[in-house]
Chain A
Amino acid sequence: MQKGALVIGGGVAGIQSALDLAHAGFKVYLIERGPCLGGRTSQIHKIFTSMDCTG
C-alpha cells in the first residue's frame, strides 16, 4: 500500500498543494470541511491584477 500525504483544507492553497504532490507522483488525500472545494477564493469576484474570474 503506497502511503500518501494528507492535505487539510480545500481552498486555493490546499488545491495547489494537492496538485503539486499529485504531479510529483504521490497519493494525496484532500480533506475539506465544506461541501466543495475552492474556499474563500471562489467567493472573490475578480482577482488583481489580472482581473480573472475565479470560477
Chain B
Amino acid sequence: MDVGRHPNIEMFTNSEVVQVDGEAPNFKVKIKHKSTYVDWDKCTGCGECPSVCPVKLEDDFQLNLSKREAIYRQYPQAVPNKFIIEKKGWPPCRFACPAGVNAQGYVALISQGKLQEALELERKDNPFPSVCGRVCTHPCESECKRKDVDEPLAIAQLKRFIADQEPEGKEPISKPQLTKEKVAIIGAGPAGLSAAYFLTKQGYCPTVYEATDHPGGLLYWAIPRFRLPEKFLKRDLDYIKSWGVEIKTGIALGRDFGIKDIFNQDFKAIFLGVGAAKEKSMGIEGEDLQGVEFCVEFLKKAIMNHKTTVGKKVAVIGGGNSAVDAARTALRLGAEEVFIVYRRSQREMPANEEEVLEAEKEGIKIHFLAAPTKVFGEDGKVTGIECVKMQLGEPDASGRRRPVPIEGSEFTIDLDMVIMAIGQAADVSFLNKENQFELTRWGTFKVDPDTLQTNIAGVFAGGDVVTGPATVIEAIAAGKEAAESMDRFIRGVDLKEGREKKPVRVADEDIDIPDGVETTAREKMPVLDLEKSKKSFDEVALGFSAEQAKKEADRCLSCAGCAECLECVKACEPQAIVHDMEDEFIDLDVGSIVVTTGIDYLDPKEASEYGYKRFKNIYTSFELERILSEDGPTNGELLLNKERKGPIRFAFIQCVGSRNMRRDINYCSRICCMNTIKDSLVLKEHYPDIEITVFYIDIRAFGKGFEEFYNRSIEKGVKYIKGKPSKVIEDENGDLIIHYEDDQGYSSEMVLDAVCLSSALIPPKGCQDLADVLGIETDQDGFFKNAEPAIKPLESTKDGILVCGCATGPKDITDSIAEASGAAVKASLFLKGHELEIEKPDIEQVDISGPPRVGVFVCHCGPNISRVVDVPSVVEYAKTLPGVVFTEDYTFACSETDQRRLQERIAEHKLNRVVVAACTPKTHEPSFQDSLTMIGLNPYLFDIANIRNQCSWVHQKEPEKATAKAKELVKMSVARVRELKPLYLKELSVNRDVAIIGAGITGLRCGLDLLLRGFKVKIIEKNEAPGGLVRNLSSIYPSFKPGKDIVNKLIDEFTKAGGEFLTSAELVDVTGYVGNFQVKLSIKGKESEFTVGAVVLATGASLYDPAERYGYSRYKNVITNMELEEKILTGDIKDIKSVAFVQCVGSRGDAGNPGCSRYCCQAAIKEAIYLEEKGIDVAILNRGVRVYSKGAERMYRKARELGVLFLPYEEEPEISGTDMANQITVSSVDLNAEISVPIDLIVLSVGMVPAEDSLRLSELLKVPRGPDKFFLERHSKFGPVETTVEGVFLCGCCQFPQDIGDSISQASAVASKVSALLSRDKISLAPITSMVDEIYCRGCGRCAEVCEFHAIELIEKEKGIFIAQVNEALCKGCGTCVPACPTGAIDLKHFKSEQIEAQLEALFN
C-alpha cells in the first residue's frame, strides 16, 4: 500500500510495455494499458458488482482451485483496490448468431435464477424469444465449445424456458415515448416486426402493413402448431405491439398503395420485409398432376383447417425444416405412410436435428441421396414417383457437397401424394411497375450489405426478400440492422460510419476449459407421448423444468469471460462500469529501466508420471500455499477428496522439472527445498499427527536460518528419502501409490493421501517478447542475461536497463528484495539532475480541542477474525463505551477502500480519536497512521486493539471467550485513546558522508555505487590493503577471471571516483545517531575522528579453522580450500594424482557456522574441474551437493561428466596415514557401503564464520547478532540490508555467508538505502521518546545505567545538582528507563502512566 500512496510513484497496472526506443538516459517507452472496463476514478472498491455477476471463472489468484466472478479484484487488500472485468471478446455462441444475441449472457443469468433479467437481455437483440426458443436453427449450439467436453448446451431450449416463464401480458420495463418520425414497414414477418420493434426502442413511430389478415409471416402461416403453438407466437407479437408498434393487416403494397404514396404520407423511411413467397417447383415431368402440392401451401391449409385431405402414402421432397414439418403434418392428417426424399446425406440435411429425430420416432422414413426425376399419374392423379440415387461430389457454393446422380440407379415408389418442399423465391416484380429497384439475378433486392439500403434512398430491405429463403434469426438480424440504418437516415448522419467494425470472437486459445471438468449430459427436453403426439397438433416438446434449466445453464463454460449481461452496471452505484472501454496507449520518457518480471512455475502435467490433474489430491507447491492460506480456496484446510480416518499420509516430491536435462531445465529452482521444509512445518502444526515424507535429490536449505528449520522438521518427524519417485498412481480406493527406490536400492511403494509436487520455476510467458522490445538478451534458460554473471548481477546486456529478482533466475524473497534495492541505485545513476522537489501538502488540521470523540472500527480480516469472533456484537458493544460516537465494521480495514472509508467517517463524524480493532500493530499501524495524517488528524491519537492474534488466533476453539476478550481489548483501547496526546515529528540535519567498514569486494562495490551517486565515502579497513578474501581466489566462476583482477579494478575505480581508503585502521568508537555519527579510528596508533550520516558494515566473514580436525594440523597434505586456491595460483600441484574434498567442514554442525556456508560446494566443483582437467582424480565427499547459483548446475554436471566422484557421507570421514595422509574412508546409508580411497591431497572446504571482531563491532554499533553470531538484519525477508539501528546498514558475508554475486547485489542495495536516507537535508525522528520531569528527578542515574542506547546522560544543572537528560535522537522509546526510576520522574511519551492506567482501569472495573 505504501507504493500506492507514494507521490513519486505512478502505477500502471493491467499494462504492458509495447515499444522502447532510444538509449539510456533517453528511453522513449510506449505502454499499452489494457482496458479494465471499470472507470477506476469512480470505482470505490465497494464489492457490490461481483455479488450480481453471474459468471463464474477459474480464479487465477487461487491458482484455479476455486472460482471467481468475471468482475473481480484479485484479493480484498489488492493495490490498487479496484475492480476489473475479464473480457475476451464475443463468445462463440453469440458470434455465431446472425442477430448477435448474447446467449452466454442469458444462460449465465438463468444459472443464477434471474429469469426476467435473462429475458430482458435476450430482447435487447431479439424480440422473438418465444418463437426462437422453439423454431430457431440455433447456429449458436453448433459453435458451443461445450461440445469439446461432451455435448453443446441446449441454448435454444433455455431461451424457450425463460420466454415461457414470463407471466402473460407483461409490459416492457422502460418504454420510451414514441415522439420521433413515422416509418413504414412492409410485411409483418420476423424481419419487418423486428425492424419496427427496434425503431420503437429509439422512439420512432413505425406502422407495419401486412398483406394477409394476420401478422407473423411464415411463423404464422407455415410453421405447424405442434412446433409453434399460436399462443406462443402471440406472446411475442403482443410484446412487440406493447412497445407501440402499429400493425395494419389486409393492406398490400403494390395492390393498395405504392412506394410514392408512403413517402407522401410523411413516412421518412421504408422497410421492405415482404419475404420470399413464391414456391419453387421441381421442374420435372408430372409435377402438375393432382396430388402434387407446394409445401407452404399445404402447411397453410393444414394450419387453417386440420382436416385438409391428404394421401395415404405421401412423399415430401426436400431436406429443410419445412419438409420435415410437412411430413409430420401429413402424418397427423391421417397419412398411413410418409417419407422424405432428400438428395444429399444426413450430414447435409438443413433441418434441425431434434426435429428430424422426432419425425423418425413418429415413423417417417427418410430416403437420403435420392432425387425425384419423374412423377407418374393416372387419370390426372399422382400414383408414384421415379427417383434416382445420388452420390456426393465436390462442395458447392454453400460448402455442402454437391449431389450427383448415379446413372442407371433409378427406382420407383408408388404413392398418392407428393409435397414439394424445395424452397421459395422472392418475387418483387409487382413493385417494379412504378419503381426501378435494382434486383439480383435471383430476383431479390440488391442492397448495400452493411446498411441494407436499396438503390432508392430511404428504402431499405431485409429478410428473405434479400437473402432468399433463410432462417427466422437471420430475418430478425436484418430487421435490427435496418432499424439502425433508418435511424441514421432520418437523422441525416452517415449510414456506414463505425459499422464496418465487427465484434471480435474470443480466440480459441483464450477459452479456458478447466482441467478435469466433469462431463454432464445435455438435458433432454420432455416430449409428448409418441402415440398421442402422432395424432395431435399439440406442441410436442414440453419445455424444461426449472431444475433442468438450471442444470443445463450450469454447463456453460463462459467462453468469453464476461457475459456482458450488464447486471454489474445496474449494481454499480458510482456508475463506474464502462463495457465498451478501449485500450489506451501512453508514452513515457524515462532515464533507466528496471526489469522485475518474476517467475512462473512448470505445469507438472508435463511430468505426467506424477499424475497431476489426472488424480485427485495432487497439488503443486504453489497450490499448497493457497490451500494452507486462511483466505485460500478451502480457508486453510487441506480438504481431501475422499473419506479418511487416521493421520493424513502426505509426501513432497522435490525437483519436479528442476535439474532435469530431459525437460531442458538445467538449473536448481533454489527455493523449493526451503519452501517444502516450511510447508511441512506448517502442516505439522496444523495436523500434529500428519505423516510427511520428502523425496529429494539434495536438500538445499542454504538460506539464513534454514539449516535449523531443516533439523527441526526432522525432529518433528518429517521423513526424508533420497531419490526421485518413478511414478504416482491412484488405486481403486482413491489412495495414491508412490513408486520409489528405497535406501537399499529396492523398488518400493508407499501409500499416501496427498502429494505435493515441488514444480520447477521457469521464466514467465512473454519474457522473450519483452527482451526483444527492450533490446536485451536472455540466457539459455530463458531468463534475462546479466552483463557479467557474478560481477554485474544487476545489469542487463544493455546500458541503462537493470534486471533483478527472479527475472534473472529463481530466487527467494530475501535475495530478490536485496537485488531490487541494488537495481534501484543503479537505475538512479541515469537520472542525475532529475530529483523531484518534495512538496509538503498543505492539510488543514483537525480540531482536537474538545472532548474525545472516539470512532471504533472493527475489522473482519476476511474470515481471519470473523470466523471466531462475533464482529457485529463487538461493534454493538463498542457503541456503549464512553466517548465512542461512531462504530463500523470492515472486511479488510487495511485495504485501500476501507481506509478511504475510514477517512470519510472521521471527517463526517468529526472524530478526534480512532481505535481500530484488527491485527497486530506491527504490520498495519503505520498505514492507519498515514491515513490519519493525510486528513489532518494527528497520527498518535490512534490505537489498535489486536483482536486477531490475541483473540481469533489463540482462542480458535472458544469463539465465545474470544469474543468476550475482543470486547475487553476494545474497551481498553478506547480508554487509552481518550488519554492520548498529539505528538509531532522532530527534524534533524543530516551529514551526507558515509563510512564503510571493510574493503572487501562488498565494501568496494557499495562504496563505488555511493560515490557515483555523489556521496563522499570513506572505507575503513583493518588490513594493510583493500581487497578482502576475493583477492586470494585463483578464479571466479563462471568467468574464470582471477579474483585479484576483479578486486583491483574496483579499487582503481573507487579511487578514481574520489573514494578514500583508511587502511590499517581500527574502529575505536562510534557515537551519535542517524545522520550524525561520530566515528573514531586508530590508524597505526594515531587517532582520527570524523562525522558521517550513515555507517555500513561490510566486514565479511572469516574462514573456519579446522585446527586438529581431519588431521589438518597433523598432515601436511591436508589443506583448506583457500590454501588450494593459493596452490593453484602458484602452480604447486604438479605431483598430485588424486584429491579428495571434504565438504561442510565447519558448516551445518556444532563447530563453526551452524548453517550452510553457501559458497563451498560451488567452489569445490570449480576447483575439481580445474584439477580433473589437469588429469588429477577428484572425489568430493559431501552432505548433499548445494549448487544453486546461475549456471552452477551445469558446472556440477560437467564435473560429473569429467569423472569427479561425488560421495555422500554422514559420519565424519576418517583420514589415515603416517607422515602424510594417504587414505580417506567414508560411509553412508545412501552408499550402503564403506569406501576407502587412496589419496595424495585432502582439501577441507571450510565454512564461513563470523569475523573475529564482529562481537566488538556489534557492541560499538549496537547492532545485534543472531544465534549464529552473524549480524542480524532488520527483517529476514523485507529488510535484509538494514539493521535495527537507524543509519547503520550491513551487506555481504557479515550478515550470512553468500557467494560473490549475492554479496555484490547486497552492496548495491545498501547504496540504495543510504542514498534514500541521505538524499534529504533533514530527517525526522519518531516522537515516542522518554521525558524527564525535572521536579522529581533526583539525578540518581539509574535510568542512564539501564539505557542500552546510551540516550540518557546526567547533566549538572546547578552546581552539585544532577538531572537526567534524554537525547531524543538516540532514544528508541523502549521504555526500559521508566520502571528503573525510583521517583517516577521519567515517563515515556505515548505510553504515559496515566494512559496505561486508564487501560488497566478499564479492564478491572
Contacts and interface: CB of A to CB of B under 8 A. Distances in A.
A4 B824 contact: no
A17 B804 contact: yes
B705 interface: yes
Interface string A11-55: 111111111111111111111111111111111111111101101
A9 B599 CA distance: 11
B1316 A23 contact: yes
B593 A6 contact: yes
By CB atoms of chain B within 10 A, which of A8, A15, A39, A40 has the most? A8
A38 B74 CA distance: 10
B1322 to A, nearest CB: 13
A3 B591 contact: yes
Contacts of A19: 2-3, 6, 9
A20 B598 CA distance: 18
Contacts of B25: 3
A21 B827 contact: yes
B65 to A, nearest CB: 11
Contact of A32 (B15, B628, B820, B1275): B15
Given A6-B593, A34-B14, A47 B1277 contact: yes
B1125 interface: no
Given A14-B820, A28-B8, A34-B74, A3 B13 contact: no
Nearest to A11: B598
Please tell me the size bucket of the interface on B.
35 or more
A38 B892 CA distance: 17
Given A4-B834, A5-B831, A13-B819, A49 B825 contact: no
Contacts of A32: 11-15
Contact of B73 (A5, A30, A36): A36
B828 A46 contact: no
Contacts of A49: 703-706, 709, 1276
Interface string B1-43: 0111010111111111100000001010101000010000000
A44 to B, nearest CB: 5
A50 B8 CA distance: 30
Contacts of B194: none
Interface stretch (B76-84, B425-433, B610-618, B1232-1240): B76-84
Given A35-B74, A47-B813, A49-B706, A9 B625 contact: no
Interface in B1159-1177: none
A22 B9 contact: yes
Given A18-B9, A35-B13, A48 B674 contact: yes
A29 to B, nearest CB: 5
Given A22-B6, A45-B625, A5 B593 contact: yes
A5 B828 contact: yes
Contacts of A3: 25, 589-591, 831, 834
Contacts of A34: 13-14, 74
A33 B596 contact: no
Interface residues of B, dominant DSSP: mixed
A52 B17 CA distance: 33
A28 B1276 CA distance: 26
B78 A17 contact: no
Interface string B804-815: 111100000100
Interface in B1083-1135: none
B835 interface: yes
A16 B824 contact: yes
A38 B895 CA distance: 13
Contacts of B424: none
B548 interface: no
B1319 A50 contact: no
B1312 A24 contact: yes
Contact of B598 (A13, A26, A35): A13
B351 interface: no
Contacts of B823: 13, 17
A27 B834 contact: yes
A19 B813 CA distance: 16
Given A3-B25, A23-B1316, A26-B8, A17 B820 contact: yes
Given A30-B12, A31-B31, A43-B622, A16 B820 contact: yes
B271 interface: no
A9 B835 CA distance: 23
B682 interface: yes
A31 B824 CA distance: 15
Interface residues of A, dominant DSSP: mixed
A12 B13 contact: no
By CB atoms of chain B within 10 A, which of A7, A18, A41 has the most? A7
Contact of A55 (B77, B625, B1277): B77
A21 B15 contact: no
Contacts of A23: 1316, 1319
Contacts of A2: 834-836
B770 interface: yes
A20 B709 contact: no
A38 to B, nearest CB: 7
Contacts of B16: 31, 33
A28 B823 CA distance: 13
B703 A12 contact: no
B133 to A, nearest CB: 37
B516 to A, nearest CB: 21
B1037 to A, nearest CB: 24
Nearest to B629: A45
B626 interface: yes
B636 to A, nearest CB: 8
Given A5-B590, A5-B827, A6-B29, A43 B807 contact: no
B445 interface: no
A43 B598 contact: no
B817 A8 contact: no
A7 B4 CA distance: 14
B1085 to A, nearest CB: 39
B61 interface: yes
B838 interface: yes
A27 B13 contact: no
Contacts of B828: 5, 21, 24, 26
A11 B1319 CA distance: 26
By CB atoms of chain A within 10 A, which of B61, B625, B819, B827 has the most? B827
Nearest to B895: A55
Given A20-B825, A26-B835, A28-B8, A8 B830 contact: no
Contacts of B73: 35-36
Nearest to B15: A31
By CB atoms of chain B within 10 A, which of A21, A40, A42 has the most? A21
B923 interface: yes
A12 B770 contact: no
B332 to A, nearest CB: 59
By CB atoms of chain A within 10 A, which of B31, B821, B825, B831 has the most? B831
Given A3-B25, A8-B595, A9-B597, A43 B61 contact: yes
B937 to A, nearest CB: 24
Contacts of B8: 21-22, 25-28
B598 A9 contact: yes
Interface string B1281-1324: 00000000000000000000000000000001101100110000
Contacts of B1277: 47-48, 50, 52
Given A42-B74, A46-B628, 4 more contacts: A4-B831, A13-B596, A20-B1316, A45-B636
6 contacts: A24-B824, A27-B8, A29-B12, A31-B17, A43-B61, A49-B706
* 8 smallest beta-carbon distances between A and B, as pairs: A13-B805, A20-B824, A23-B1316, A16-B820, A22-B8, A9-B596, A36-B78, A13-B596
Interface of B: 2-4, 6, 8-17, 25, 27, 29, 31, 36, 61, 63, 73-75, 77-80, 82, 84, 588-599, 622, 625-626, 628-632, 636, 674-675, 677-678, 682, 703-706, 709, 766, 770, 804-807, 813, 816-817, 819-821, 823-825, 827-828, 830-831, 834-836, 838, 892, 894, 923, 1275-1277, 1312-1313, 1315-1316, 1319-1320
Interface of A: 1-50, 52-53, 55
